[in-house]
Structure 1
Amino acid sequence: MMVDEKLARIRSRTSNIQRYRRLLKTELTEIERCFVLKRLSEEQDALAKLTDETFPLPIGPSRSEKTITASL
């Protein structure tokens, strides 16, 4: 996959994440909220994987370090 295509996919994933976050600020049924949260999580995981593939050099703390820090 070429860099331009990867960057386009990163933009798309980022857009989806922003859209799901906006949706979570609205009134949703419990089923809708669960669906949006699931999709948000999937998009965030896909974005993390894609950015790791696109930019293999670590620029900041890794995703796992952030998770460990956030859980403390």
Structure 2
Amino acid sequence: MIDDDLVRAHRNNIQRYHLLLQTTLTEFERQYVERRLSEEQSQLDKLTTRAQAKRNGQSDTDHAG
């Protein structure tokens, strides 16, 4: 299923960014990775919220945001 593949991709990216944050980075690099991590987490949250709504029988339009 496409949503499952997207969830897996976002989780992999999140894990990769967490690992990068454990390395020595310049302040600019760290800010970039933190921003990307936040964006990936946001996208993952949207996907999982949408998946939960579908399981509960609600449409995407029932949730604002």
Where on the TM-score scale, by shorter chain, does this alignment land: which range? 0.7 to 0.9
Select which of 14, 18, 21 maps to 2:15.
18
Q: RMSD in angstroms over aligned alpha carbons?
A: 0.7
- Asked if 1:30 is matched to 2:27, the reply is yes
Runs of 4+, deviation exceeding 3 Å = none
- Asked if 1:55 is matched to 2:52, the reply is yes
TM-score normalized by structure 1?
0.73
Tell me the matched-pair count: 54
Select which of 3, 8, 29 maps to 1:6.
3
In 2, the alpha carbon distance for the partners of 1:42 and 1:24 equals: 15
Q: Which sections of structure 2, spanning at least 5 residues, go unmatched?
A: 57-65
TM-score normalized by structure 2?
0.80
Q: Percent identity?
A: 46
- TM-fit CA distance, 1:54: 1.1
